Amino acid sequence: MSKIQMRTPLVEMDGDEMTRIIWKMIKDHLLTPYIDLKTEYYDLGLPSRDETDDQITVQAAEAVKKYGVGVKCATITPNAQRVTEYNLKKMYKSPNGTIRAILDGTVFRTPITLPCLKPSVRSWVKPITIARHAYGDIYKCTEYRVPGPGTAEILFKDADGKELFHETVFEFKCPGVLMGTYNKDDSIQSFARACFNYALATKQDLWFSAKDTISKKYDHTFKDIFQEIYDAEYKAKFEQAGITYFYTLIDDAVARVIRSEGGFIWACKNYDGDVMSDMVATAFGSLAMMTSVLVSPDGNYEYEAAHGTVTRHYYKHLEGESTSTNSMATLFAWTGALKKRGEMDNIPELVAFGEKLEQASLKCIEDGFMTKDLALLADMENKTVLSTEGFILKVKEYLDAAL
């Protein structure tokens, strides 16, 4: 059998610890034997980031802009302990944060679902994708611990220094707390377009929720911007695709989500998305089955697993112990990227291969072959717990049978 040929490279961002090991196994066993894999390789492993003063991360993000599709392995975000462990020159910022700032994207998180993995919410039969606006609000706030009686004011001056707005927030009679947050129209517009585009690309309904009844300027602006962009740019396309967009209050959305059967995208403001994505992930079963894709407003895609580098398993691996780490989310990052590359470059064989590899891995689990984390969750009689590599090799058997 001849290997599938690629035209444009995929931006490959290698990472750290257990996921770096899984990364190589996936490539060696499941990809390079079948595809003439063309990637532009960036090593985002911590030693390489340290060597390049983190320039490698910036270069990788620029490459995603250039080629349109990237796939990223989980990476360590250094803290003080990591600085000692890796003898780092400094405490580098989160690579994901750096990449997100350059691509200006929205993060979509979707669980990989299977009939044997029963969500805690009984009505959910299809995945729910959370789209989180990853900019501003309380994540960029200015806050103050009020020590005692006094006046809190809000003041806005235009570029010429003229006061346009000046109001009292609260007359404190006792100690308290105070916070100022902001967002920008262009960031909200990018967020809206990323959501509309992703809904069209995946042919799913889009919900957006905020609290515009209480926040009549701040949240209402989000609601208005979504509606204006929808009406002007997406309404016709949505109708043609047979999907819908609707806005509802966040508390109504929560109730509807729980009663729903899934199968839609839920766009959330930054904080709501932070909280709700953890709730949805947990209710669907496992962080190890959560995929994540960063979509930029100009149509660049970066795929990754939602979980980290699985440090605890890596230390066991270093001690020579056998591990049973789940490679599904990392595998789906690769298949997502390959399918997108195939779609953009019009290579149907590449899209079909990505599809078959996903199906092979799902069938493998449905037949009872899985890693330890899933064995604890799966609702079935006969389960075989495999090692990290054992699972990948089993998927290969299923893939070979399907090709």
Output 176 or 308, the one with its CB closest to ligand NAP.
308
For residue 383, count CB atoms less than 10 angstroms from its CB and return exposed for 0-12, middle for 13-18, buried for 19 or more.
middle
| Contacted by 74, from ligand NAP, Mg ion, none: CB < 5 to 8 Å by type | ligand NAP
**Binders of ligand NAP among 283-302, rule CB under 6 A?**
287-288
Member of 113, 300, 326, 335 binding ligand NAP (CB under 6 A): 326
Nearer to Mg ion, 59 or 282 (CB): 282
Q: Nearer to Mg ion by C-beta: 274 or 366?
A: 274
Smallest gap from residue 41 Cβ to ligand NAP (A): 17
Query: With contacts defined by CB under 5 A, how many residues of the chain interact with Mg ion?
Result: 2
Contact partner, 188, from Mg ion, ligand NAP, none, Cβ < 5-8 Å per class: none
CB of 278 to Mg ion, least distance (A): 4
* Binding residue for ligand NAP, selected from 57, 309, 335, 361, defined by CB under 6 A: 309
74 binds ligand NAP (CB under 6 A): yes
**Pairing mode, if any, of strands 245-249 and 205-210?**
parallel
Query: Among Mg ion, ligand NAP, none, what does residue 274 contact (CB within 5–8 Å per kind)?
Result: Mg ion
Residue (140 or 312) nearer to ligand NAP, CB: 312
**Nearest CA among 330, 298, 290, 291 for reference residue 102:** 298
Q: Are strands 10-14 and 69-72 parallel, antiparallel or unpaired?
A: parallel
CB of 274 to Mg ion, least distance (A): 4
Stretches 267-275, 306-314, 335-343, 376-384: which one binds ligand NAP (CB under 6 A)?
Answer: 306-314
What residue has token string 């993000």? 61
Closest to 5 measured CA to CA, from 38, 33, 31, 41: 38
Contact between 20 and ligand NAP by CB under 6 A: the answer reads no
Site for ligand NAP in 184-203 (CB under 6 A): none
The two structure tokens encoding residue 149: 């009686």
| 12 near ligand NAP, rule: CB under 6 A | no
Q: Residue 275 Cβ, how far from Mg ion at the closest point, in Å?
A: 6
Contact status: 106 vs ligand NAP (CB under 6 A): no
Question: Does residue 137 interact with Mg ion by CB under 5 A?
Answer: no
Per CB under 6 A, contacts with ligand NAP among 346-385 are: 373
Size of the site for ligand NAP (CB under 6 A): 17
From Mg ion, ligand NAP, none, which one binds at residue 278 (CB under 5 to 8 Å depending on kind)?
Mg ion
* Angle formed at CA 87 by CA 24 and CA 89, multiple of 5 degrees: 105
Instruction: Count CB-CB contacts under 10 A for residue 366.
Output: 15
Binding residue for ligand NAP (CB under 6 A) from 110, 296, 325, 361? Answer: 325
274 contacts Mg ion (rule: CB under 5 A): yes
Q: Does 278 bind Mg ion (CB under 5 A)?
A: yes
Which residues form the interface with Mg ion (CB under 5 A)?
Answer: 274, 278
Which residues form the interface with ligand NAP (CB under 6 A)?
Answer: 74-77, 96, 287-288, 304, 307-312, 325-326, 373
